[in-house]
């Protein structure tokens, strides 16, 4: 089975997204051969024209194929750009190509802000889609028919795939490899690229540490750091507010203004993040993981995982832990 993949680039495209996806499929070919499995990827960089295409870094990649509606790939992947609305306006040929070709390809994917090309072609109307959090509001405003979910790493809606920013494109490409050739090959590639473990599509773009670093209000940032250092303790909104000598109401309002979320939600997501790392990296029983990450019970952790990631801790660990067999045995202790 030979699967053709066209990675679509254009002037100003994000180099890391194109190279990351290209690397995933190239390494997949190596592991398919090592495992003696039939099937390969034939990957090409494609654009409006053949030749050198300058990226956001100033480095150019060579487009070996001109987009056309005759020689269509099995899978097309359109990468994003920093100034995506300018990029879409400067490359209407890509929008026209997507509109004409998508229905005749097995899969059409957009990485990061590349979702704007799919939206402009009408492919995302009425569908859930994700993109980089920084342009999610712009996507919603410009294309109101798209059901934008800015919290996911990647989303699949039938034959249409979209991903969050930059490195999430690697997660999407790994998911495509898993669909085509199985989990073991995808994990082989993830290890080679030192992508520690493949993330599920429903995993949140949210990172408690990144949110804390991006907070401008010094007092709120201090409280966030304190929360992150004490997640296994029982922390109340009143205790958080007291650290800034604020009323709970004022603190909640200030916290939401700075972070876009509530203190309680921030704490819950931070606990999920901590629990996720423990489930990935260690062999602790799930009940111990729950206690160390601040959840009163395993059931409380399970509910939080379902809300944040769309999977249970058991399912998450079974799929993403380093030592699957040992972890499965540990899970039976729950």
Taking the domains of the chain in order of start, what are their residue ranges?
2-192, 207-334
148 vs 114: CA distance, rounded Å: 13
260-289: per-residue pLDDT in tens? 889 999 999 899 988 988 887 778 899 999
Architecture of the domain made up of 207-334: Orthogonal Bundle (1.10)
Do β-strands 65-66 and 40-47 pair in parallel, antiparallel, or remain unpaired? Answer: parallel
111 vs 165: CA distance, rounded Å: 7
* Range with top average pLDDT, 116-125, 141-150, 204-213, 270-279: 116-125
Exposed/middle/buried for residue 142 (C-beta within 10 Å: 0-12, 13-18, 19+): middle
Cα–Cα distances in Å, from 247 out to 128, 222, 239, 243? 39, 17, 10, 10
- Asked if pLDDT for residue 203 goes beyond 80, the answer is no
Q: Name the CA dihedral angle for 26, 318, 37, 76, rounded to a multiple of 10 degrees.
A: -40
- Asked if pLDDT for residue 21 goes beyond 80, the answer is yes
Is residue 148 within 8 Å of residue 130, measured between CB atoms? yes
Third-level CATH fold of 2-192 = Rossmann fold (3.40.50)
The reply to whether 207-334 shares the fold of 2-192 is no
- Asked if pLDDT for residue 197 goes beyond 70, the answer is no
Is residue 173 within 8 Å of residue 21, measured between CB atoms? yes
- The stretch 176-189 carries a mean pLDDT of 89
- Residue 8: per-residue pLDDT: 98
> Where residue 218 falls among pLDDT bands split at 50, 70, 90?
confident
Do β-strands 60-63 and 51-54 pair in parallel, antiparallel, or remain unpaired? Answer: antiparallel
Which of the pair, 60 or 212, is modelled with greater confidence?
60
Cα–Cα distances in Å, from 224 out to 8, 215, 246? 40, 9, 15
**What is the distance between the terminal CA atoms of the chain, rounded to a whole angstrom?**
42
- Asked if pLDDT for residue 33 goes beyond 90, the answer is yes
Provide the 10 A C-beta neighbour count for residue 92: 12
Exposed/middle/buried for residue 233 (C-beta within 10 Å: 0-12, 13-18, 19+): exposed
Which of the pair, 279 or 320, is modelled with greater confidence?
279
> Where residue 101 falls among pLDDT bands split at 50, 70, 90?
very high
Out of 106-110, 121-125, 174-178, pick the least confident: 174-178
């Amino acid at each position: 089975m030979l699967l053709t993949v066209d990675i679509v680039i254009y002037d100003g495209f994000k180099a890391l997204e194109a190279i990351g996806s290209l690397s995933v499929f190239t390494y997949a070919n190596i592991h398919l051969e090592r495992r003696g499995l039939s099937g390969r990827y034939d990957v090409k960089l494609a654009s409006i024209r053949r030749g050198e295409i300058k990226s956001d870094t100033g480095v150019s990649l060579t487009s070996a194929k001109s987009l056309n509606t005759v020689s269509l790939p099995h899978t097309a992947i359109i990468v994003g750009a920093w100034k995506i609305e300018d990029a879409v306006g400067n490359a209407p040929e890509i929008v026209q190509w997507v509109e004409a070709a998508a229905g005749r390809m097995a899969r059409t994917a957009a990485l990061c802000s590349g979702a704007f090309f799919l939206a402009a072609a009408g492919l995302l109307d009425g569908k859930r889609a994700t993109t980089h959090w920084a342009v999610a509001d712009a996507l919603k405003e410009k294309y109101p028919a798209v059901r934008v979910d800015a919290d996911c790493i990647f989303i699949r809606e039938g034959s249409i795939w979209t991903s969050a920013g930059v490195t999430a494109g690697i997660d999407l490409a790994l998911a495509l490899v898993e669909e085509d050739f199985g989990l073991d090959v995808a994990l082989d590639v993830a290890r080679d690229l030192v992508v520690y473990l493949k993330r599920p599509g429903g995993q949140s773009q949210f990172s408690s540490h990144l949110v804390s670093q991006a907070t401008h209000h010094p007092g709120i940032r201090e409280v966030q750091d304190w929360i992150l250092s004490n997640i296994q303790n029982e922390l109340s909104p009143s205790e958080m507010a007291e650290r800034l000598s604020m009323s709970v109401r004022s603190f909640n309002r200030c916290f939401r203004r700075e972070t876009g979320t509530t203190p309680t939600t921030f704490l819950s997501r931070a606990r999920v993040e901590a629990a996720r790392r423990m489930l990935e990296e260690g062999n602790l029983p799930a009940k111990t993981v729950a206690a160390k990450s601040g959840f009163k019970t395993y059931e409380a952790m399970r509910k939080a995982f379902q809300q944040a990631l769309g999977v249970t801790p058991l399912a998450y660990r079974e799929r993403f832990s380093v030592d699957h067999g040992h972890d499965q045995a540990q899970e039976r202790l729950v």
